[in-house]
A = this chain, B = another copy of it.
Amino acid sequence: MSELGRRTRVRVAVDALGGDHPPGEIVAGALDAATELIQPVLFGPAELDTGGLEHVVTTEVVGMEDKPADVVRAKPDSSLVRAVRAVGDRSVDAVVSAGNTGAMLAASLVHIRRLPGVHRPGIAVVIPAHEGPTVLIDSGANADARPEHLLQFAHMGVLFASEILGVASPVVRLLSIGEEPEKGNQLTLEAFALLAASGLEFAGNTEGRRLLEGGGDVVVCDGFTGNVALKTLEGTIRSVLGALRTEISSTRSGRLGGLLIRPAGARLRHRLDPETTGGGYLLGLRGIVVIAHGSSSRRAIANAIRMAATGVEHSIVDALAERVPSRTTAA
C-alpha cells in the first residue's frame, strides 16, 4: 500500500446503508466531503441517488441484528462487505461505514487482513479532552482481550498520536480503577507489566475521571472497557448539557441567561461533539477502515470520510507495518 500515501486523489468507499439514517445522511455527508482530493465512492442499491458520486451497485443489506461471523459468507454482496472488499482489492484507498461494528471487523479480517504480527485490530477513537486530544484504544473491537493485545494497542495508539495528531513523544496510560500500579483487574495488572517494559512512554494507570480532562495522549484498554467508558463519556456529556438546558428554561431569568450563554454553549458542544471527529480507525489492518457512529449525521459521515483520507495521506498503514510488530512479541 506504500504508493497510496503519495496519490494525489484519495478514493474512499462509503457504505451507503450503514447506521441509523441511511441512505440520506450518508449520501449527503459523502457529497459534503467530496473535494478535488477526496473522492467518495458510494456502495448501495441500484436505486440510490448518489448526486453524481461514483456508485458501486450492491444488492444486500447488513443489519445491526446480523451476526458478525456470518455476514461475510451470508451477505457477500452487501454494501458493507463490498465496500470493505474494495479496500482489499485496492480499487479504493479506504472504507467508511456507520454499520454493524462487529460485521465491519469480521469483513475486514477476511477481505483486508491483519498486518503481519498484529494479533487483533483495535478501534482508536479521539477523545476531545481539555488538555488536548486523547487516543482511546481499543474502544470496541475486542470485547475480550489479552495483555499482549493491550500492548499492541498501545503501539498502534502511539503511532496514531504521533502521525495523525502530531504529538512528539506520546504518553501512554492504562485505563484502570486507581492510579497505583497494584490497582486493576488481572488483565490490567499483566498489561501494566508489559507496558512498563515496552520502551514506550508509559506513565502508569489512569482513571475514567481523567478521560475528559486529559489522561495521557494514548489511553489503552480492552474493547469492552473502552466501549463502556466511551459511551458513558458521550452519554454523560449529552445528559449534563440537556439537564442544564432544562434547569435554565425553568425560570425567566434563567431563560434570559440562557440566551446570553448560547454562544459559549455552542462552542463547548462543538468541541465535545463526537461528530466533530466522525469515527474511529480500526487499526492493525492492511488498509484503512473508519468506523462511524451508528447515529452518524451527515456532518459525522463527512468528517469520517475526511478522517479516512487523512489516514491515507499520512500512510498510517505503512507506518504501522514498520513499527508495531518489531516491538512486540508474537502470541
- A residues near B (Cβ < 8 Å) are 64-65, 67, 130, 140, 143-144, 175-177, 180, 182, 184-186, 188, 207-213, 222-225, 227-244, 247-248, 250-251, 253-254, 256-265, 267-268, 271-272
Contacts and interface: CB of A to CB of B under 8 A. Distances in A.
A260 B265 contact: no
A188 to B, nearest CB: 8
B184 A207 contact: no
A229 B208 CA distance: 7
A235 B210 contact: yes
Given A243-B130, A257-B261, A268-B243, A177 B227 contact: yes
B209 A272 contact: no
B143 A177 contact: yes
A185 B143 contact: yes
A6 B295 CA distance: 53
B267 A247 contact: yes
A257 B210 CA distance: 28
B140 A228 contact: no
Nearest to A102: B183
Nearest to A145: B185
Contact of A180 (B65, B212, B225, B259): B65
Nearest to A142: B185
Given A244-B268, A248-B264, A254-B263, A207 B231 contact: yes
A210 to B, nearest CB: 6
Given A251-B264, A260-B256, A272 B212 contact: no
Contacts of A259: 257
Contacts of A268: 240, 243-244, 247
Given A231-B209, A232-B232, A248-B264, A224 B65 contact: no
20 contacts: A143-B177, A184-B224, A185-B222, A207-B235, A208-B227, A208-B231, A209-B234, A228-B228, A229-B232, A236-B237, A243-B271, A243-B272, A244-B265, A244-B268, A251-B264, A254-B261, A257-B258, A258-B260, A258-B261, A260-B260
B263 A260 contact: no
A235 B210 CA distance: 6
B264 A244 contact: yes
A258 to B, nearest CB: 6
Contact of A212 (B67, B182, B235, B258): B235
Contact of A182 (B67, B180, B260): B67
Contacts of A256: 257, 260
A182 B248 CA distance: 40
